[in-house]
A = this chain, B = another copy of it.
Amino acid sequence: MAEKINVALIGYQFMGRTHSNAYRQLRHFFDPPLLPQMEVIVGRNEAAVSATAHKLGWRSYATDWQQVLKRDDIGIVDISSPGNTHYPIAMAAAAAGKHIICEKPLANTLDQAIEMAEAAEKAGVRTLTNFNYRFVPAVQLAKRFIDEGRLGEIRHYRGIYLQDWIIDPDFPLVWRLRKELSGSGALGDIAAHNIDLARYLVGDLEEVSAADKTFIKERPLPDSSEGAWGATGKGPRGEVTVDDAVIVIGRFKNGALGTFEATRFAAGRRNYNAFEINGSRGSISFNLERLNELEYFCLDDPEFAQGFRTINVSGGAFGDYAAAWWPAGHIIGYEHTFVHSVLEFVTAIAEKREAVPSFREGARTQATLEAVARSAASRKWESIPQL
């Protein structure tokens, strides 16, 4: 019987829901060497968090994360609260000797991200920056293809993350649209994912040139600043202080060229996190709205039989993650990726190794985001520092 470890989850909204589901489902589909126990969920609003705790499957709730960090029975702290809270909680958790899983982007500034990584390393705790899309089975297959050399030398990465949930000018000024809370807009929220996937699959970028834009400068204030997807309104308006969209070109260290774009203003693209990678022997293409599929083109096929093939990445042929769920052709959903990232985290703790992506790795992605932001401001090419 696997050992157990108690989890304290900070945050109970969108990411709180996905993480809770991951902890609940993990043991029913996998055999983790360390079993996370859903001990306590933490939120400032007692009425809300108490209602949610039971719904999401937690044994208890709390309103003060600092108190929770003092508890000896807590082994993992999971930070799923808004971006501005990542740094103080993570620093305190490291100091308290807790293993830490943290939502992306790791921090609202690069300095904080580095500090968090160093604090955790010094404290000897395990960390995971929750770039959950690395854990899509089709992305894992992409990684395998690249690592096996099936694409040859990589020449191009083309990444877009398109959404449209704030296209209505009357959509309220939620926390994700306020820089002081979220750090940035489309950049940190969604470009972060695509840039992280680029780093995971192709490697580090060397330099970037970028531009950004805020299409809607003012929006109605929401009734509560905590609602992630609030109702549109006609009341007083506040300033949108983050980017609505960002566009980037870049050079990878290995010589590949990259283009990135993230926007919340692409009508009809609900959650379109997509990339294509072209190499000297083949290409792959992925789109999160069809996350069970990977497109693969192989130049080694006879020329009269070459074409992008749609691989349905489900069932037993595609590694441990896909195999754990259902037979081939029975697809999985968005939330399954969080189960996989939690599995990676608890496995790393049990195996006394770094989880991937660690805080250090998250800081490297943050460094790229920060260079993008710098370039958008300076209107120059900016290089990405080595971490």
| Residues of A near any B CB (own CB < 8 A) | 14, 18, 20-21, 24-25, 27-28, 55-57, 141, 144-145, 151, 155-156, 158, 160, 162-165, 167, 209-211, 213, 215, 229, 245, 247-249, 251, 255, 257-259, 261, 263, 265-272, 276, 278-283, 288-299, 301, 303-312, 314-315, 317-318, 325-336, 379-381
Contacts and interface: CB of A to CB of B under 8 A. Distances in A.
A50 B163 CA distance: 46
A59 B307 CA distance: 41
Contact of A327 (B25, B271, B297, B310): B271
A296 B333 CA distance: 22
B309 A309 contact: yes
Contacts of A297: 267-268, 309
Contacts of A270: 312, 314-315, 327-330
17 contacts: A18-B326, A24-B24, A25-B25, A28-B57, A145-B305, A151-B267, A167-B299, A247-B257, A257-B261, A269-B283, A270-B314, A270-B315, A271-B329, A272-B329, A309-B309, A310-B310, A333-B333
* Residue with the highest number of chain B CB atoms closer than 10 Å, among A18, A155, A281, A317: A155
A247 B245 contact: no
Contact of A156 (B265, B278, B318, B379): B265
Closest 9 CB pairs of A and B: A270-B329, A271-B329, A268-B297, A309-B309, A307-B309, A333-B333, A307-B311, A330-B334, A332-B333
Contacts of A20: 28
A71 B176 CA distance: 53
Contacts of A335: 325-326, 330
Contacts of A266: 155-156, 276, 278, 283
A282 B267 contact: yes
A301 B306 CA distance: 12
Contacts of A312: 270, 289, 307
Contact of A268 (B57, B261, B289, B308): B308
A263 B307 contact: no
**Copies of the chain in the assembly:** 4
Contacts of A229: 327
A302 B118 CA distance: 43
Contacts of A163: 329
Contacts of A303: 317
A222 B319 CA distance: 25
Given A28-B21, A257-B213, A278-B263, A268 B307 contact: yes
Given A257-B263, A290-B290, 13 more contacts: A141-B304, A209-B379, A247-B258, A265-B278, A266-B283, A267-B282, A270-B315, A270-B328, A289-B292, A296-B307, A304-B318, A326-B333, A330-B333
Contacts of A306: 268, 309, 311, 317
Contacts of A311: 304-307
A101 B165 CA distance: 39
A337 to B, nearest CB: 10
A304 B165 CA distance: 15
Contact of A165 (B263, B309, B328): B328
Nearest to A301: B309
Contacts of A265: 155-156, 278, 280
Contacts of A281: 267
A21 B271 CA distance: 26
Contacts of A333: 325-326, 330-333, 336
Contacts of A210: 249
Contacts of A258: 247
Contacts of A309: 297, 301, 305-310
